[in-house]
Structure 1
């Protein structure tokens, strides 16, 4: 990062992240006791019990709820595509956004199966999109700059993206959402996420670069060269600086959504590689947000294990997915709902034995 940019790259100059209270760890024993007292053998539901404890702590003193889940699909384009980091052109971002709005993408099918509402957010698609009831227009700019040659965005643009993502999550919660799930669409965003993982995990760059939407060997050579060129251009390591230098607008808005949901004491269901990169940015900015994150699945994309280790995360599912769009998060929604209902709907063993049902 240039000295001029570094001088002005302080997030608090542009936006103050919301206050997020860490979960009260003294509640763990009481939550475990409540679950152990249910009409089942202690520990018999394995990791669902761990999830129930987390959900109970998030909503305490209110009971946890999971009936109303919203998937926020953040979409934006990346200047890095100019370097050949993807086999697909940026026009595919627009095409996929229109597919979501038409209800015909994989995310739509999985959302229907899981009874989840989808909202698509234009964070920085490099085209004007027609109005649609399910589209939230929050565009910062027409895609990021080419991070191999210059910062992906200005500090002001990155801060605005964080702020808008935060407010979008808060608005959805005020409208009744119990669960905020994260999804994304943006050609080139695995390259951006690899750079974020490299600097913020931190990890060796080569270990963070995967095939993304699918690359042959010549394509992978171009992708590696472009990402290495971007990494060599800036030595940024502070989270906001790294976001400015290498991030995507959809990634920044997802990071903001994590902070917004956590500030309202709601669980955030994190999808795969790109969503996890955004979540790592959010947690590096406000560490207390980690308590509110539920990690949906282990992606097959190279580099996701590095992010999960940096996030101290053990995801719920391992299905070999690497599509994105929030598909893994959607598949995990029923597990979150079941864990919440373990606390609220299952009888206590003492009541069963006393015939008080």
Structure 2
């Protein structure tokens, strides 16, 4: 690890799974965990576990312990200690100070209401029009700190979704890195963590695809290497909504780990044999590691539960 940059470099494959303790893991979470885990193991690499508890108001008491217990009960074996974002604020603030010193950050006094009244819609809400980019108006104080995107078009290759092209200025605008409530934004924290942990490959849900160009922009500004990306399709319910805590997805149950894992493999287009449903958990993992092929997911953005999926999906 470089003492100056705090960035760990490694030539080997190093992946990660980074759940947020805003609730329990569900089948959608399991797909991301399984895909990232198997891709790492097939590459002979490491798989790290990160708890993204960056936002205390949204953190559910006891959720972190339940997440760890479920992952352990499902047979996941992570490398090294579990990383908790809530304990890494000093690292994030150091990155913010670097960007501020280099002239990439500026204070913003605008409220959400003010922005919504004059901004056009982008891929992730109103696009900030740059009101405070040249300096704060007299009598106004900075509420948040934004990073300049300039006049940039980003093109990011993805192993499953092809090239993602995004005009940051038109589709996103200068985005917040330090929020008005004093909390560090997710986009910065994930970039700093991936660099500090030496992550070489990111396998995660396609719901985060649109965030990737912003993260690549920050990686370039901070001088970090850009990992290889693969965004797997997200699991949706019968209404076409992403399966999540907000859509009341049912939590994973440790007692049905082997069956749920086989279901996850089926959803991930791995075609496990029917007899695997009667196998023990270790046998399921053995089959999965021997047969894993992420290419089966190329071009897919969504996955649909089978008819009669029942309580596993919510």
TM-score by length of 2: 0.35
Q: Kindly indicate which of the two structures has a greater share of residues assigned to strand.
A: 2
More relative contact order in 1 or in 2 (CA 8 Å, sep 6+)? 1
TM-score by length of 1: 0.31
